[in-house]
Amino acid sequence: MAAVPSSHPYVDAVTDPRAVRLLGDPPVPGAPEGQWWPPQALLPAWLEEHASEFDLVHLHFGMESYTPAELAATVATLRRLNRPLVYTVHDLENPQLSSQDEHCAALAVLTAAATELITLTDSADAEVRREYGRSTTVIPHPTLIASATSHGGTAQTMTRVGVHLRDLRPNIDGVGTVATIVRAVADLRAEGARIEAVVRVNERVRDAEAAASIALLAADADGVTIERGTRLDDDELQRWLSDLDACLLPYRHGTQSGWAELCFDLAVPVIGTRVGHIAAQHPRDFHAFTVGDPIALARAITDATAPAWSTPGSPRRAEEVERRRSDRATERAAVRDAHVRVYRRALRMVAAA
């Protein structure tokens, strides 16, 4: 199978190596070794040349590298080669883009042409049906944490809420989120709550003006700290999240969230805006707020940090992490089985056509 991409934690998690052999990502001319984008496996010439090496193509990410017309040429080539296309609709809105017009046009091409579609939540499936007239197979997002990894967090003297703004990509409302946090934390502290907020921002950002505004907003804010640093690796990120009583997701648009999955694995409750289908991933762990409404955020913080297992470094947190680890291992096996069934069904459909 040609997965796009092949070298990706999500693809590793959903692929059963006993039933599926993945081709490696084709090298990208002029790109550093290991870079998979723009994905060469979507180019008609590559598909023609390597048709004997794969039975089907499963597209996950990287479609934004090509125009809708170029993607139409890709699906036409696959049709001519009699190779099925499986497409997982991760992004009904692309978090890397501000304007969604071209992305929606590309979605129209892919959802119409794919032999099989997959989504991660029932509500995302409903949107695909409504907007594109296709049904999907709903397969939940599996854990991406290695089974040997254990993070229970470090005990704190105060309730600690964190938000990671990363590199301030287009779907992150850094300024609005921080302004709301500053007010909410001030209100909670005025009521006697022992609470602090940490806002982390990568050293390299896409919007330097927004980063400067965020620093000014938090400069004199009691209980709010800004961290600027290099991009955290997977283990560093897990440790950073594990030290939180709750994690705030600062999205202005999006569909589903790998961060929500990681927080669930680490038993860190999520506070987020109601965009896309993130709330549907783990509804009991999700607490909604609206950017610009500090009262709603203060209420969400109070609700999210109420469970005993939300406290980092506590025995209850450690027990909850272990319980979820066991459940998620079972779930990942089921997720892999479900993907194999989709692949076999796609191959039968093309063979019968």
Q: Which CATH class is domain 2-143+333-352?
A: alpha beta
- Could you give the residue ranges of the DSSP H alpha helices within the chain? 9-14, 44-49, 68-81, 101-113, 122-132, 174-190, 208-219, 234-242, 258-265, 294-304, 315-352
Read off the pLDDT of residues 291-340 as tens digits, 9 standing for 90 and up. Answer: 999 999 999 999 999 998 999 999 999 999 999 999 999 999 999 999 99
246-249 and 195-202 beta bridge pairing:
unpaired
Whole-number Å distance between alpha carbons of 25 and 35: 9
CB 213 within 8 A of CB 182: no
Q: Could you tell me the residue ranges of all domains in the chain?
A: 2-143+333-352, 159-312
Superfamily of domain 159-312: Glycogen Phosphorylase B; (3.40.50.2000)
Read off the pLDDT of residues 226-278 as tens digits, 9 standing for 90 and up. Answer: 999 999 999 999 999 999 999 999 999 999 999 999 999 999 999 999 999 99
**Using the 8-state DSSP alphabet, how is residue 90 labeled?**
-
pLDDT of residue 8: 96
pLDDT of residue 146: 75
| Residue 37 CB partners (closer than 8 Å, separation 6+) | 5, 28, 31, 62, 65
CB 152 within 8 A of CB 320: no
Two domains, one topology: 2-143+333-352 and 159-312 = yes
| Residue 225 CB partners (closer than 8 Å, separation 6+) | 196, 197, 198, 199, 218
| Residue 212 CB partners (closer than 8 Å, separation 6+) | none
pLDDT < 50 stretches in the chain: none
pLDDT of residue 149: 61
